[in-house]
């Protein structure tokens, strides 16, 4: 007899809290910036909170959910009743989130994502903590009972910890990833809103502080042959370095807070990542939703013998008429020691064995093409130097030329691809090295491309399209292949994709 | 053609106004007429000469595994969409296409770059035949 469950009694507080949160910063800005004069209409605007709080209370009171045999049924609303059916088999993902307030009251915010059916997503704000476990168990039990091939006694699969990150590693991750800019950007935005931006900019570019009109003086020195403000340039350089340093520290602290206690577990077909110091997140990544996996290694990674792993995960979005992807780029492992990498990959993508990959290079004449592009690029870049510095510009141009050559060489040397039994691999980049793995079952379409330059050199490129690739994602797009090789790779990938079936 | 005529006329008006207001120096005014001629010729080329060339380089191959579409003169691309990856297919007809009995096949995949693969300039009946041939047979909607 399916019994009905309700949301936690304090739910409406969290609903209202969510709305308040959106109003807090603009509210503060208004109060601080407006002064005492124009506060009347703002106060009236704020009082609109009250009716919306009442609505939230009603919504929460009317929320009910129950576990039927094959689906989860959620009903809400007093006046307009809405009933949602989420079949267990179609539940793709269950995520949970807890900020400080949630943790104090031992509640959790749950989000369920499904594929197929009319409703893509159901958010339950907030449930008592044990309810989360119950939902997970019920959904999983419901899922496996609808699949006849799964053994009946395998109700709860064992949980296997794949990765656990200590605070020290998180600090390292923060240092490498450098999200400091994001926070600095937010701080700048706030300064702007509060009208303090002008004052700070004055300090740097104006006459107010010890950095008196520094930028102007430097320009004068360079273009008009005036005196070089050496002392101030050094001072500014120090400030610049200090700012960079500060940003890195910010990024490290941010990483520690956001990812504290990072733990990646595998339970059956799902990967679960738990992390967070203040806001605890339990993110679910079903293995079959992983479309591509990218291993990233920058210079600091190499120094510390670590790598970072990202996945493109996508599930079907049920909205009719859309081609259907709900996309997430997730950090599977923000930082992982190189020694642990093979085991982790084996647990996540058992079909692939990275240690046995036979990397194949691109066409031998690729270097010639890359260096030509480099030459053009660096020539254009050195024009301003020549016009300003005359013969002194050689100091800049000669090293630049060396760098261009070395860069082209290294870039071509680090381009590689491989066709495994079950996946295609591609790597590129020498300073920041990235390797992407795309399983054949996840290939959506294959493209053989020839630019006019390709045609002249008898080369071609092969691109693999997958679901949910972000704009900045590293993709399997192999350039500078010989025409014949490209044709073969194209044929083979098309065949493999046709032969395998795609499952969201 | 209408678009070309309209744009060309608009450019002519723009050029005349520039000449009358005397914003450009003498040599600038002298260049206005050749510039307009050049632009109009360019537009006409785009409308008349380019489309047949582009169509000549567009082709497709249909087989049991899927469809392969080749397009482009400068940047040639051959895109293969396996049958198992076709999400759904549209047959589109703009007003002009309708009057000529033509249609456009749009294949939707779950990919990002090629979430829509278009094949224009098909005979309307052929477009429908292709669509029926490519749609997944039976329902093996795996979740």
Whether the per-residue pLDDT at A222 is higher than 80: the answer is no
- Provide, as residue numbers in chain A, all residues whose Cβ is less than 8 Å from the Cβ of B113: 463, 465, 469
Whether the per-residue pLDDT at A319 is higher than 50: the answer is no
Q: How far apart are CA A424 and CA A293, in angstroms?
A: 11
Any idea what the Cα angle at residue A56 is, between residues A55 and A59, rounded to 5°?
85
pLDDT recorded at residue A151: 46
Mean pLDDT of the region A90-99: 83
DSSP string, A411-439: HHHT-EEEE-SSEEEEEE-SSSEEEEEEE
3-class SS of residue A197: helix
pLDDT recorded at residue A94: 84
pLDDT band of B140, cuts 50, 70, 90: very low
Beta bridge partners of A285: A271
Q: Based on the number of CB atoms within 10 Å of its own CB, is A337 exposed (0-12), middle (13-18) or buried (19 or more)?
A: middle
The residues spanned by each domain of chain B are 2-55, 57-134
pLDDT band of A205, cuts 50, 70, 90: low
Mutate to test the interface with B, among A312, A424, A444, A495 (most CBs of B within 10 A): A444
pLDDT band of A410, cuts 50, 70, 90: very high
- Measured in whole angstroms, the distance separating CA A42 from the mean position of its chain's CA atoms is 37
Are B119 and B54 in contact by the 8 Å Cβ rule? The answer is: no
Strands A423-428 and A433-439: antiparallel
pLDDT recorded at residue B35: 83
Dihedral (C-alpha) A215, A221, A222, A224: value to the nearest 10 degrees?
Answer: 120
Alpha helices by DSSP H, A340-451: 341-348, 366-389, 394-413
pLDDT in tens, B9-29: 888 888 788 777 767 777 777
Mean pLDDT of the region A264-273: 86
pLDDT recorded at residue A172: 86
Q: How far apart are CA B40 and CA B50, in angstroms?
A: 14
pLDDT in tens, A179-200: 666 667 777 676 666 666 566 5
Q: To which H or E segment does residue A221 belong?
A: helix A214-224
CB contact under 8 A, A89 and B80: no
Percentage of residues in chain B having pLDDT higher than 70:
92
pLDDT recorded at residue A40: 64
Q: To which H or E segment does residue A113 belong?
A: strand A107-114
pLDDT in tens, B108-126: 888 888 888 999 889 989 9
pLDDT band of A425, cuts 50, 70, 90: very high
Q: How far apart are CA A411 and CA A403, in angstroms?
A: 12
How distant is the Cα of B136 from the closest Cα of chain A, in angstroms? Answer: 12
Phi/psi of residue A169, nearest 5 degrees: -70, -35
Phi/psi of residue A378, nearest 5 degrees: -70, -30
Pairwise pLDDT comparison (A235 vs A174), residue with the higher score? A174
How distant is the Cα of B30 from the closest Cα of chain A, in angstroms? Answer: 33
CB contact under 8 A, A323 and B143: no
Work out how many CB contacts closer than 8 A connect A with B: 102
Mean pLDDT over the full length of chain A:
80
Whether the per-residue pLDDT at A116 is higher than 60: the answer is no
Q: Which of residues 116-135 of A touch B (CB under 8 A)?
A: 116
- Provide, as residue numbers in chain A, all residues whose Cβ is less than 8 Å from the Cβ of B74: 451-452
Q: Which is nearest to A467 in space by CA: A290, A274, A341?
A: A290
Pairwise pLDDT comparison (A327 vs A301), residue with the higher score? A301
Q: How far apart are CA A447 and CA A67, in angstroms?
A: 46
Whether the per-residue pLDDT at A445 is higher than 90: the answer is yes
Q: How far apart are CA A320 and CA A317, in angstroms?
A: 8
pLDDT in tens, A446-455: 999 999 999 9
pLDDT recorded at residue A156: 56
Mean pLDDT over the full length of chain B:
83
Are A127 and A63 in contact by the 8 Å Cβ rule? The answer is: no
3-state helix, strand, coil in chain A (%, to 5): 50, 25, 25
Q: Which of residues 366-405 of A touch B (CB under 8 A)?
A: none
Q: Which is nearest to A499 in space by CA: B139, B83, B53?
A: B83
Cα distance between the two ends of chain A: 32
Mean pLDDT of the region A50-64: 83
Q: DSSP character for B83?
A: G
Taking phi over 0 as left and psi of -120 to 50 as alpha, with beta for the rest, B121 belongs to left
Mean pLDDT of the region B120-134: 89
pLDDT recorded at residue A115: 63
SS (H, E, C) A27-87: HHHHHHHHCCCCCHHHHHHHCCHHHHHHHHHHHHHHCEEEECCCEEEEEECCCCCEEEEEE
Mean pLDDT of the region A397-403: 85
DSSP string, B104-143: EEEEE-S-STTSEEEEEEEEHHHHHHHHHHHSPSS-----
Mean pLDDT of the region A65-79: 85
Mean pLDDT of the region A390-418: 87
CB contact under 8 A, A446 and B79: yes
Q: How far apart are CA A208 and CA A214, in angstroms?
A: 11
Q: How far apart are CA B31 and CA B50, in angstroms?
A: 27
pLDDT recorded at residue A39: 59
ipTM for the predicted complex comes to 0.80
The shortest CB-CB distance from A323 to any of B74, B84, B108 is to B108
């Amino acid at each position: 007899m399916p019994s009905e469950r309700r949301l936690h009694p304090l739910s409406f507080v969290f609903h209202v809290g969510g709305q308040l949160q959106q109003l807090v910063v603009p509210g503060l800005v208004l109060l601080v910036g407006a002064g005492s004069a124009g506060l009347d209409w703002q106060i009236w605007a704020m009082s609109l909170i009250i009716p919306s709080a009442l609505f939230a209370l009603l919504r929460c009171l009317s929320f009910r959910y129950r576990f039927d045999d094959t689906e989860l049924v959620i009903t809400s609303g007093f006046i307009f009743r809405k009933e949602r059916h989420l079949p267990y088999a179609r539940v793709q993902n269950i995520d949970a989130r807890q900020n400080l307030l949630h943790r104090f009251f031992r509640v959790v915010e749950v989000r369920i994502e499904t594929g197929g059916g009319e409703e893509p997503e159901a958010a339950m704000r907030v449930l008592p903590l044990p309810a989360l476990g119950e939902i997970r168990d019920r959904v999983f039990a419901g899922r496996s009972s609808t699949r006849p091939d799964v053994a009946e006694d395998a109700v709860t699969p064992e949980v296997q910890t794949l990765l656990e990150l200590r605070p020290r590693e998180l600090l390292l991750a923060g240092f490498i990833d450098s999200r400091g800019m994001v926070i600095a950007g937010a701080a700048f935005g706030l300064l702007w809103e509060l009208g303090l931006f002008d004052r700070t900019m004055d300090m740097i570019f104006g006459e107010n502080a010890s950095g008196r009109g520094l930028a102007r003086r430097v320009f004068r020195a360079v273009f008009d042959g005036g005196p070089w403000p050496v002392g101030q340039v050094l001072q500014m350089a120090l400030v610049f370095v200090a700012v960079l340093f500060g940003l890195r520290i910010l990024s490290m602290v941010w990483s520690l807070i956001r990812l504290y206690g990072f733990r990646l577990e595998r339970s059956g077909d799902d990967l679960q990542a738990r992390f967070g110091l203040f806001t605890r997140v339990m993110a679910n990544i079903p293995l079959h939703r992983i479309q591509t996996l990218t291993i990233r290694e920058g210079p600091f990674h190499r120094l510390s013998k670590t790598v970072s792993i990202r996945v493109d995960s996508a599930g079907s979005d049920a909205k009719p008429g859309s081609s259907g992807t709900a996309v997430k780029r997730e950090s599977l492992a923000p930082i992982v020691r190189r020694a642990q990498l093979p085991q982790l990959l084996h647990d996540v993508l058992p079909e692939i064995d990275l240690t046995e990959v036979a990397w194949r290079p691109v066409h031998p004449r690729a270097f010639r093409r890359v260096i030509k592009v480099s030459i053009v690029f660096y020539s254009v870049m050195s024009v301003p130097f020549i016009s300003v510095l005359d013969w002194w510009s050689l100091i800049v141009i000669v090293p630049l030329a060396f760098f261009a050559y070395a860069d082209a060489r290294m870039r071509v040397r680090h381009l590689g691809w491989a066709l495994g039994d079950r996946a295609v691999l591609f790597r590129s980049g020498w300073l920041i090295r990235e390797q992407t793995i795309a399983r054949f079952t996840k290939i959506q379409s294959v493209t053989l491309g020839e630019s006019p330059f390709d045609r002249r050199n008898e080369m071609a490129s092969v691109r693999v399209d997958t679901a949910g690739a972000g704009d900045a994602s590293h993709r399997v797009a192999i350039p500078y292949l010989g025409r014949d090789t490209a044709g073969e790779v194209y044929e083979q990938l098309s065949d493999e994709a046709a032969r395998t079936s795609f499952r969201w | 053609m209408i678009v070309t005529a309209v744009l060309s006329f608009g450019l002519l008006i723009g050029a005349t106004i520039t000449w009358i207001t005397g914003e450009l120096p003498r040599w600038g005014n002298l260049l206005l007429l050749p510039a307009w001629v050049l632009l109009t010729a360019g537009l006409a080329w785009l409308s008349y000469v380019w489309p047949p060339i582009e169509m000549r380089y567009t082709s497709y191959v249909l087989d049991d595994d899927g469809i392969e579409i080749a397009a482009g003169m400068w940047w040639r691309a051959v895109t293969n969409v396996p049958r198992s990856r076709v999400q759904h297919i549209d047959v589109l007809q703009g007003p002009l296409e309708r009057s000529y009995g033509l249609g456009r096949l749009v294949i939707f995949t779950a990919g990002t770059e090629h979430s829509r693969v278009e094949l224009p300039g098909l005979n309307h009946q052929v477009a429908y035949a292709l669509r029926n041939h490519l749609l997944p047979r039976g329902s093996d909607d795996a979740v």
